[in-house]
Structure 1
């Protein structure tokens, strides 16, 4: 999710498409939050691991 967010963020920035930039930013933030919560061992949405 983090990688997809970065790709969309960069594409939106370089191509000038604002919706891609916004979606990329949202995916990046959500991916980082889930990675941090998962790294601390906290269960997210009832799961300890997302594979």
Structure 2
């Protein structure tokens, strides 16, 4: 999932360089959403691992 987030971020940067504002905005939004989902899942996995150990 982090790979998808990075890919959409790169697409947004390339689109912004070439002046495609709508595409850049959409790709940035998707990258932000995927990154937040990744962070939530990462924290949940850390918490579940900590609970399992104790």
TM-score by length of 2: 0.63
Larger Rg: 2
How many positions carry a matched residue from both structures?
42
Going by fraction, where is helix more abundant, 1 or 2? 2
Q: Deviating runs (4+, > 3 A) in structure 1?
A: none
Which residues of structure 2 form unaligned runs of 5+? 17-23, 50-54
- Deviation of the 1:39 alpha carbon: 1.6
TM-score by length of 1: 0.66
Task: Specify which structure has the bigger relative contact order, considering alpha-carbon pairs within 8 angstroms and separated by 6 or more residues.
Answer: 2
- RMSD of equivalent CA atoms: 1.5
- Deviation of the 1:10 alpha carbon: 2.2
SS in 1 for 2:48: coil
